[in-house]
Structure 1
Amino acid sequence: MVVAQSRNARHQRIVDILGRTAVRSQAELLDLLAADGYDVTQATLSRDLVELGAVKVRDGRSLVYAVPGEGGDTTPRVAPEPAEVDAKLRRLCEELLVTAEFSGNIAVLRTPPGAANYLAAAIDKGEVALRQGIIGTVAGDDTLLVISADPAGGEAVAMRLLALAAGSSEGKDPNSE
């Protein structure tokens, strides 16, 4: 992945990481940023966390970094469990996914009017994106494109999301067996 080395890009990546992963230390966060191609010093990261309003909050028996929610919400948000994220994505697919087609590395999904952005955000945040090699989504009003890293991955992505819409907890195509 090629990343922009700007302060804003780095801040967004920190928010994304803290929203997905329970990070217990700055050293751990530095390693995660380095894996994404960001060359950051500990001092810069410390300033970034202050600028983002990141705080350490209790998550079970440990303390993890959290950032305030979007839209001015100042409540720190701890990264949800992957099972919670996948359950939300499965529920949204059941409620919103109307059709899915594919071509090459693209899956074209149709939703009711006004729902495409909502479903796209859930796909971007979901663990399905990591397992399926999804690079990202582009959403309009009732149509969204899901782009796979695999040149022929559109079919797998479409089938996985259709299976979630059919209520399959594993996301496998229920018609394949």
Structure 2
Amino acid sequence: MALPLVWLGAGLVAAYAGSQLAREQQRQSGHLGHFPGDCKMEVQPKNGSVVCCGIYEVFQHTGIWVDDQIIELKGNGLVRAVSPRRFLADRSGNRIYVACDGNLRPLVDEQAITRSVGQVFSYSEYHVWSNNCHRFVFSCISGKKQPVTRFGELNEKMYRHFGTVVHWQPVPVTK
């Protein structure tokens, strides 16, 4: 009976250690300035900003900020607009972070607004590796349907798209 719990615990420890290694590799790559949670300076997102929240300190979930809502690809394949509070619900993270440049200005692609809003209430066959929230976000900012499996890949693609190191800054908490 205790053996499955030991295996589960070992798996969680391995996943956490792997995420910490991935964080360090992203920093060393030069694509990332601040990982979510590294810096306390709050920045208000602008329409078309990329935002994220944490999931069990191992994964990140991403979306596009539009009119104080976040457009996301949900795990069931539905593209929807949700409030920041709903974006955090059922996830372990309690903060939302916005992708910024080195001067802490949100990284915005104006086309991301049109592309993301145009997909609200559409359905896309969700797959954790080949069609996830990171791929959805990158397709909104770039207009390209490219594979994006991990948060680190999204950071690298945003670095190339925007031509600047990505700094993840906390969004002010709204009451």
Quickly name the TM-score band, shorter chain normalised: under 0.3
Structure 1 or 2, whichever has the larger Rg, is 1
TM-score of the superposed pair, with normalisation by structure 1:
0.26
